[in-house]
Amino acid sequence: MTKKKGLGRGLSALLEDPTTDITTRNEPVSAPRSAGPIGTIPVAQIEPNPFQPRVYFSDEALAELAQSISELGIIQPVTVRKVGYDRYQLISGERRFRASQLAGLEEVPAYIRIANDEAMLEMALVENIQREELDAIEVAISFQRLIDEVKLTQEQLSEKVGKDRATVANYLRLLKLPPEIQLGLRQRTIGMGHARALISISDPVRQVELYHKIVESQLSVRAVEDLARTATPKSKGTAAPGLRPNKDLSRQLAERFGSKVSVKQSVEGKGRIEIPFRNEDELRRILAVLG
């Protein structure tokens, strides 16, 4: 079984391989790598890529591209695979294809390749990622599809797409966020940094509450990280049954230390005491009281 090429090498590494080119498939193996000759294909014979990870295309951007194509033509050919008699399926170039339809073109220049479904998914994914056109959720969904449909581990996936495993894991974790927050990522209302901070909160209700606060107050990533850190102990505290605030003891200790003190205690007598401090001076003062 031959080793698969890593997607991190770029889409051209996959498309320019003569073994995937119908027009050069019978050439000797030693033949130079090239994109092969360009054919002209009727637009009516081309169908969209079912593995296209990108689901949103700006109408305004497509109209601008259509205008450019009307004036200058298609500078970069689309890439297709043959799926039947006079039937082709897009591998890459869906924006150009859609804009060509808007421009009223009857034919488009195209490279013709041989690619199975797995290669189709991989090539469509890497093209969009390299052009930074996918939103974070589209990337995450694409990664998950590669894991589910191509049966890759996260380690194998990270090698294929040329990203470290932690980055891949961060994208996949986005799919665990509530739908409302995922929509915010898709619409770019919040960024990846905001989302990573929200993921650290285990309570979905708290996640959504903080998400609304981000949108309303235009919070920075650093501010969200700080808020997430204060929210995390609360969610963890609810998971430890039996601990209840001891308000009387908390008040007594607060008077002694001159600082806010939180005492939580179970009916068995065990518990914890928390004394927050804001700076080194306040810490030294608390330590001095402790003796």
Write down the catalytic residue from 64, 94, 118, 280.
94
CA distances for 234 relative to 156, 240, 241, angstroms = 37, 10, 13
- 114 & 62 share domain: yes
Query: What tens digit of pLDDT does each residue of 68-100 get?
Result: 888 888 888 888 888 878 888 888 788 888 899
In-domain check, residue 53: yes
Cα–Cα dist 49/60, whole Å: 22
In-domain check, residue 89: yes
Q: What is the DSSP string of 121-169?
A: HHHHHHHHHHTT-S-HHHHHHHHHHHHHHS---HHHHHHHHT--HHHHH
Q: How many helices (H) and strands (E) does the chain have?
A: 13, 8
In-domain check, residue 44: yes
User: Please, are residues 141 and 129 in contact by the beta-carbon 8 Å criterion?
Assistant: no
In this structure, the number of other CB atoms found within 10 A of the CB of residue 61 comes to 12
pTM: 0.50
- 68 & 114 share domain: yes
User: Please, are residues 230 and 210 in contact by the beta-carbon 8 Å criterion?
Assistant: no
**Active-site residue, 94 included:** yes
List the one residue out of 178, 140, 177, 146 whose CA is nearest residue 159.
146
Among 84, 103, 120, the domain-final residue is 120
Segments forming the whole domain that contains residue 201: 190-237
| Amino acid 18: pLDDT | 41
Number of domains in the chain: 3
Query: What tens digit of pLDDT does each residue of 118-176 get?
Result: 676 666 666 666 555 678 888 888 788 778 877 778 888 888 777 888 888 999 999 99
